[in-house]
Amino acid sequence: MGKVTRMISPSRLAYTVTAGRITTAFIQGILEGKLLGRRCPDCSKVYIPPRGSCPTCAVPCRDQVELAGTGTVTTFCIVNIPFEGQLLDPPYACAHVLLDGADVPLLHLVGGCDVQEVRMGLRVSAVWAEDIQPTLASVMYFQPTGEPDAAYETYEAHV
Protein backbone atom coordinates (compact mmCIF):
# COMPACT_ATOMS: atom_id res chain seq x y z
CA MET A 1 0.00 0.00 0.00
CA GLY A 2 1.39 3.44 -1.00
CA LYS A 3 1.68 6.57 1.09
CA VAL A 4 -1.21 8.99 1.08
CA THR A 5 0.12 12.19 -0.50
CA ARG A 6 -3.11 13.99 -1.14
CA MET A 7 -6.67 13.88 0.13
CA ILE A 8 -9.72 15.79 -1.03
CA SER A 9 -12.26 16.32 1.71
CA PRO A 10 -15.10 18.81 2.12
CA SER A 11 -14.61 21.16 5.01
CA ARG A 12 -16.49 24.01 6.58
CA LEU A 13 -15.28 26.74 8.86
CA ALA A 14 -17.75 29.02 10.62
CA TYR A 15 -16.41 32.30 11.93
CA THR A 16 -17.55 35.76 12.88
CA VAL A 17 -15.79 38.93 11.77
CA THR A 18 -16.24 42.08 13.79
CA ALA A 19 -15.83 45.31 11.87
CA GLY A 20 -13.66 47.93 13.50
CA ARG A 21 -14.62 51.57 14.03
CA ILE A 22 -13.50 52.74 10.53
CA THR A 23 -15.15 49.85 8.67
CA THR A 24 -18.33 50.24 10.73
CA ALA A 25 -18.56 53.91 9.70
CA PHE A 26 -18.00 52.92 6.05
CA ILE A 27 -20.75 50.29 6.23
CA GLN A 28 -23.11 52.72 7.97
CA GLY A 29 -22.45 55.18 5.15
CA ILE A 30 -23.37 52.53 2.58
CA LEU A 31 -26.63 51.86 4.45
CA GLU A 32 -27.34 55.59 4.08
CA GLY A 33 -26.45 55.55 0.36
CA LYS A 34 -23.11 57.31 0.88
CA LEU A 35 -19.55 56.42 -0.08
CA LEU A 36 -17.26 57.46 2.76
CA GLY A 37 -13.48 57.71 2.68
CA ARG A 38 -10.81 58.93 5.11
CA ARG A 39 -8.29 61.74 4.63
CA CYS A 40 -4.68 61.68 5.81
CA PRO A 41 -3.92 64.83 7.85
CA ASP A 42 -0.33 64.97 6.53
CA CYS A 43 -0.47 64.24 2.78
CA SER A 44 -4.24 64.92 2.37
CA LYS A 45 -4.82 61.74 0.34
CA VAL A 46 -8.36 60.40 0.55
CA TYR A 47 -8.70 56.62 0.77
CA ILE A 48 -11.72 54.51 -0.13
CA PRO A 49 -12.37 52.03 1.27
CA PRO A 50 -11.26 54.06 4.27
CA ARG A 51 -8.11 53.18 6.16
CA GLY A 52 -7.37 53.71 9.80
CA SER A 53 -3.94 55.07 8.99
CA CYS A 54 -2.16 56.43 5.94
CA PRO A 55 0.18 53.81 4.43
CA THR A 56 2.48 56.59 3.20
CA CYS A 57 2.67 58.80 6.28
CA ALA A 58 1.91 56.22 9.00
CA VAL A 59 -0.46 58.58 10.82
CA PRO A 60 -4.13 58.04 11.72
CA CYS A 61 -6.67 59.12 9.09
CA ARG A 62 -9.23 60.86 11.29
CA ASP A 63 -11.21 63.01 8.84
CA GLN A 64 -14.16 61.26 7.24
CA VAL A 65 -14.94 62.44 3.70
CA GLU A 66 -18.17 61.86 1.78
CA LEU A 67 -17.29 61.12 -1.82
CA ALA A 68 -19.32 61.71 -4.93
CA GLY A 69 -20.83 58.68 -6.59
CA THR A 70 -19.08 59.70 -9.81
CA GLY A 71 -15.60 59.00 -11.01
CA THR A 72 -13.24 58.05 -13.82
CA VAL A 73 -12.17 54.63 -15.06
CA THR A 74 -8.37 54.58 -14.77
CA THR A 75 -7.72 50.95 -15.82
CA PHE A 76 -9.98 48.03 -16.58
CA CYS A 77 -10.19 44.36 -17.50
CA ILE A 78 -12.84 42.58 -19.52
CA VAL A 79 -13.51 39.12 -18.12
CA ASN A 80 -14.32 36.71 -20.96
CA ILE A 81 -13.45 33.37 -19.40
CA PRO A 82 -15.81 31.62 -16.98
CA PHE A 83 -14.38 30.24 -13.72
CA GLU A 84 -15.70 28.24 -10.79
CA GLY A 85 -17.81 30.25 -8.37
CA GLN A 86 -18.29 33.14 -10.79
CA LEU A 87 -21.35 35.25 -9.97
CA LEU A 88 -21.63 37.01 -13.34
CA ASP A 89 -21.82 35.61 -16.83
CA PRO A 90 -18.94 36.75 -19.06
CA PRO A 91 -18.23 39.07 -20.61
CA TYR A 92 -18.18 41.76 -17.94
CA ALA A 93 -15.85 44.60 -17.02
CA CYS A 94 -13.94 45.21 -13.78
CA ALA A 95 -12.32 48.60 -13.42
CA HIS A 96 -10.41 50.83 -11.09
CA VAL A 97 -12.74 53.80 -10.59
CA LEU A 98 -11.13 56.96 -9.24
CA LEU A 99 -14.06 58.55 -7.43
CA ASP A 100 -14.22 62.33 -7.59
CA GLY A 101 -12.49 63.57 -4.44
CA ALA A 102 -10.56 60.31 -3.81
CA ASP A 103 -6.86 59.64 -4.31
CA VAL A 104 -6.99 55.85 -4.59
CA PRO A 105 -9.11 54.04 -7.20
CA LEU A 106 -11.81 51.62 -6.09
CA LEU A 107 -12.02 48.23 -7.81
CA HIS A 108 -15.58 47.61 -8.98
CA LEU A 109 -17.75 46.55 -11.91
CA VAL A 110 -18.72 48.69 -14.89
CA GLY A 111 -22.19 48.01 -16.27
CA GLY A 112 -25.07 49.68 -18.01
CA CYS A 113 -23.19 49.51 -21.32
CA ASP A 114 -21.57 47.01 -23.66
CA VAL A 115 -18.15 45.93 -22.35
CA GLN A 116 -16.61 47.17 -25.61
CA GLU A 117 -17.53 50.72 -24.56
CA VAL A 118 -15.45 50.57 -21.35
CA ARG A 119 -12.23 52.57 -21.68
CA MET A 120 -9.70 54.55 -19.70
CA GLY A 121 -11.04 58.02 -18.93
CA LEU A 122 -14.70 56.92 -19.08
CA ARG A 123 -16.78 58.98 -16.66
CA VAL A 124 -19.06 56.77 -14.57
CA SER A 125 -21.57 56.99 -11.73
CA ALA A 126 -22.62 54.50 -9.06
CA VAL A 127 -25.80 52.50 -9.55
CA TRP A 128 -27.21 51.49 -6.18
CA ALA A 129 -29.29 48.39 -5.50
CA GLU A 130 -32.90 48.91 -4.44
CA ASP A 131 -32.32 46.74 -1.39
CA ILE A 132 -29.23 48.24 0.26
CA GLN A 133 -27.28 45.84 2.45
CA PRO A 134 -24.23 46.50 4.67
CA THR A 135 -21.78 45.68 1.87
CA LEU A 136 -20.10 47.45 -1.03
CA ALA A 137 -22.12 45.14 -3.29
CA SER A 138 -24.98 47.60 -2.61
CA VAL A 139 -23.30 49.57 -5.38
CA MET A 140 -24.23 47.13 -8.13
CA TYR A 141 -21.87 48.71 -10.68
CA PHE A 142 -20.72 52.00 -12.16
CA GLN A 143 -22.35 53.09 -15.42
CA PRO A 144 -21.29 55.69 -18.01
CA THR A 145 -22.52 59.20 -17.25
CA GLY A 146 -22.52 60.43 -20.84
CA GLU A 147 -20.00 63.15 -19.93
CA PRO A 148 -16.93 63.60 -22.11
CA ASP A 149 -14.01 61.35 -21.15
CA ALA A 150 -11.62 62.71 -18.54
CA ALA A 151 -8.30 63.97 -19.82
CA TYR A 152 -5.50 61.46 -19.29
CA GLU A 153 -3.53 63.98 -17.23
CA THR A 154 -6.28 63.99 -14.58
CA TYR A 155 -5.80 60.31 -13.75
CA GLU A 156 -2.38 59.31 -15.14
CA ALA A 157 -0.87 59.02 -11.64
CA HIS A 158 -3.41 56.26 -10.93
CA VAL A 159 -2.68 54.05 -13.93
Strand bridging mode 106-110 / 70-79: unpaired
For the chain, give every domain's residue range: 19-67, 68-159
Contact 92, 109 (CB under 8 A): yes
DSSP state of 138: G
Q: Which of 4-13, 78-87, 119-128 reaches the highest mean pLDDT?
A: 119-128
pLDDT digits (tens, 9 = 90+) for 64-78: 999 999 999 999 999
Helix (H, G, I), strand (E, B) or coil at 113: coil
Q: At 139, which amino acid appears?
A: V
Give the C-alpha separation, 100 to 103, whole Å: 8
Region 16-25 average pLDDT: 90
